[in-house]
Chains A and B, each alone.
Chain A
Amino acid sequence: MGNISAQTNETYRLNILRLPSHTFILFALIALVVLGAAFASLLPGSQLCWPPIVLGLTLLPLRDFLRRPDRTIARWRMAHRQDEATATIESEMASLGATGLPAVVTTDRPLGIHAFGSFRRAYLGIGRRLAQTLSSELKAPGGRRRDCFRAMLAHELSHFLNRDVWLMWLSYGLLKMMVVVMALNLWIGVSLALFAIGNGPEVLRPEFWTALSQRMLPDAPGFDLRPVYDALYRQNPLLVERLADPAQRLENWRPFFLYFVSAHWPFAASGLVLFLVYWRRLLRVRELYADARAASLMGEAAIVREAQTRYSVLVDLAAAAPSRWERLRKWLANLPTRIPILGKPFALHPPPRERKECLADPVQALGSWQWIAVSAGLAVVLLDFLLRGTLTASYIYEPGPHLPFLAAFLVFAIWLLPRVAQGESLHPGLARQIVLIVLLFTAIKLLPHLADAVAGLLILRGDQETWGVMMDLWAYSMGSGFVTELPRIVGVEVSWPQFIEWHVVRPITYFALLMPPTLIVFLLADTFLKWRALTWYRLGEQVRRVFWGTSGLMALALALVVIPIYNRLVFPHVYQGWSVATLAGMAIAFVAALAGGLVFWHYDRKLGKRCPDCDTAVPGTYHLGKKCQRCKRYLHPWLIANY
């Protein structure tokens, strides 16, 4: 904290490293989309066998993540060498004052400095040439140039201290395994369909089963497998007749094709968006946080910027001519960034200007309010697509509106925290920003529902019979064609006005009229309480627990009280009556909120606006860099960056 005293009122920077990070928000959004669909199979009403789905989508990414360090070491042929360069780098990292230092592993291949590892294993991979250069520079007498090289090490060390290495590779594992599992699912589905269509004319005949019985047990004249065929026929006569008819092979393929496309496109689209937008953003954001941590370790921001420039020159000098395979990999990795206008969000590293701006104003690492609203909104829409696809919609009915509501509240509450910690007041800036974030999020959430509404208008004004058949075909594709006949539901069993009311009007009412004001009120209340809790100076860093407590209680009230009431108001045909579990949940949330409110009021009176050192009253609200007027000590010094 030595440098804080040197800062003027204008240069106080928020210590974002003590607050939940943007990297964590991005990881949580990726996990929400990938695991949201899997964990929904655990909820009541699910008709899916949950163990293979839940275990598959948790154990496979975990395995991929735990294997990552060994694979990186093997790929780059790295090893921990007992040489002078390694010893110098390790001792220099130890001098930075961090605990749990990474093991330095070097390679003869041209490589920059690369931080990698898992939960409890940390490695710093360095090319031998670069390691020798670093070592010789670090052995030089102290000075600006030496500090510059120390800052390079501090930046890499920061990735471990920020714990972004495991956030990055765990999210990568989640995405990779989602793609692998869905690709295998598609391949097996297509293969089975081809097998059923190709061999149906032979197998789905009674003579086949009789002949098979004779060939299997020729000495047992009474043995006949014909009942197997009869059972198959009784279960689905139309399908058996269709598959048995060689003339209908092409027609039989159509429902399968429709099913495969409608079942897998949400996963393909989600995988692409999460990989290209969210994961790449995570890579960029973690660099900004590493810069902030490096500046904190070095006690200066300028040296980190100098180190960045020097490092890029060093890596260019150390780089050997890449192989054809490496060139291809690099070209493919940079391909999305070449898209005109839209290429910028796909970059793997932040531009130097952004890094400079974030060092000057660390809150910028959290991105703009537009970004956070769009990222939360898009994640929720992607999850909606996954849960409404033909692979999932007919088996999973929950969690309904809980996920968008809670995800939005928690993401925005975490994102707003650094602004609250800076001492920004609700009136008028922060309140306006909360309203805008919620409105933009709502607009994105409503996009698929508005598309449904446009389709609904077209249906009501157009040929309802044709549209009815199309909707039925969608329902038909859910059973991958294994139904007795094309069901006539829409327009026959369910009237068009009813269908549009349930699937278009009511969801739009819910998400356009109920969700935004509720989210705004809850976020304003949450922000106000945190802002108020910031004046409990005696708590010091412990005030972070109050932040989590307020957001947690709010989320609990939202999940167990508000959303169940809204669900029953808007979707009475889905959520009928009040179960004991729902009422118990409401009671628990109500009691918890009441108790939390009383505790908050008590501590506000006891701890609020008093200096922790001289115990005198500190008037006014908190702002970054605020001091006690009597003893001139900083209030919440842990929130002020030391660079």
Chain B
Amino acid sequence: MAIVVRVVTGIAWGLLALMNVALLFGTPILPVWLQVLLIGLAFIALFCLLIRYNRGLAQWRTAGIIWFVYCTLRLSSAWLYTGGISFLRDNLAVFAMLLATEAMLSGWFALLVLAIRRDVSLAYIVIFLVLGAPVIRALVTEAGGVLNFLSGQAAEDSFARFSLAEPLVMSLSCMGALGPVTFLPHLAWLLIRELRGH
């Protein structure tokens, strides 16, 4: 079993690296359907790796690091996109965006496995309620009013800008959904453990 896991992990790492490299250099020349296929394969490989490393991911610090990586990649992507150099704009900015998307999926997965493996339901609800309100107010201010916020009309091109509210909204929405959902199962598990006396 251990050998199978090792082989599958190796294949997944290789496939992920290969697909990302292919997308980095092939984006301007490859047809769209092939790009979508490559992205799909990269995501499958990533999903395998996330399941393989789920234990390590189910930690607050890991989730925090992943979302920090997402911020860095999105910041890089926005900076490369607005840099004015065509290669950076067409290749590296898109590649950074792809990596940011992978980081985002990993961040969501980390929050999910953390909520499954550990009873963080109340912490999720509290973080969602404490940070949710100021984040929404910041988003409304950033969008230039409630009308722009509700109609999704941003002041600038979303690819070219990045704000801290973006990862916050994504992680908080995940926490806000997972917190109430995982509360009762974890409580039931606590009660079962209590009845068993260990």
Contacts and interface: CB of A to CB of B under 8 A. Distances in A.
A310 B37 CA distance: 74
A192 B129 contact: no
Contacts of B130: 184, 187
Given A67-B119, A215-B153, A202 B137 contact: no
Interface stretch (A57-65, A344-352, A451-459, A545-553): A57-65
Given A184-B126, A212-B147, A215-B147, A119 B137 contact: no
Contacts of A211: 147
B141 to A, nearest CB: 9
B88 to A, nearest CB: 34
B190 interface: yes
Contacts of A215: 147, 151, 153
A184 B122 CA distance: 12
A66 B183 CA distance: 13
A189 B125 CA distance: 16
Contact of A195 (B129, B137, B194): B137
A67 B186 CA distance: 10
A75 to B, nearest CB: 15
Contact of A63 (B133, B134, B187, B197): B187
A121 to B, nearest CB: 6
Contacts, number: 62
Interface size class of A (residues with CB under 8 A): 20 to 34
A177 to B, nearest CB: 9
B190 A63 contact: yes
B117 to A, nearest CB: 13
B191 A194 contact: no
B194 A121 contact: yes
Interface residues of B, number: 26
Interface string A115-144: 000111100000000000000000000000
B136 interface: yes
B194 A119 contact: yes
B187 A187 contact: no
Interface of B: 119, 122, 126, 129-130, 133-134, 136-137, 140, 145-147, 150-151, 153, 183, 186-187, 190-191, 193-195, 197-198
8 A-B pairs closest in CB distance: A191-B133, A215-B151, A66-B190, A120-B197, A199-B146, A203-B146, A63-B187, A184-B129
Interface of A: 59-60, 62-63, 66-67, 118-121, 180, 184, 187-188, 191-192, 194-195, 198-199, 202-203, 208, 211-212, 215-216
14 contacts: A66-B187, A66-B190, A66-B191, A180-B126, A184-B129, A188-B129, A194-B137, A199-B146, A202-B146, A202-B147, A212-B151, A215-B151, A215-B153, A216-B150
